Amino acid sequence: MCIAIPGKVVGLEEDGAIVSFGGTLRKANLDLVEGVREEDYVIVHAGFVIRKLDEREALETLELIKGAGLEIH
């Protein structure tokens, strides 16, 4: 039930963000987050943005995983 899906903010309105989930658009409330801008990726749970995703951290995580691969090959 804690499922929350990443989506891309494609528009901002007075009462929330328009978020695209692979092309499907849904409105999401922004009361619980600050500083969300267009083009940001966010995670949405039951109609609310609960977190902005951090691209730098995501890339670093992938680099760490690739590093695990290098140790073996």
Q: Kindly identify the residues of this chain, within the stretch 6-25, that bind other proteins according to CB under 8 A.
A: 6
In angstroms, what is the minimal distance from the CB of 34 to other proteins? 6
**Residues 37, 16, 14, 26, CA torsion sign:** positive
Give the number of residues in contact with other proteins, rule: CB under 8 A: 35
Q: Pick the binder of other proteins from 10, 12, 29, 36 (CB under 8 A).
A: 29
Q: Are 8 and 41 in contact (CB under 8 A)?
A: yes
Q: How far apart are CA 38 and CA 17, in angstroms?
A: 8
Tokens of 17: 């963000």
Q: How far apart are CA 54 and CA 52, in angstroms?
A: 7
In angstroms, what is the minimal distance from the CB of 38 to other proteins? 16
Q: Contact positions toward other proteins, by CB under 8 A?
A: 1-4, 6, 29, 31-34, 41, 43, 45-48, 50-51, 53-55, 57-62, 64-66, 68-69, 71-73
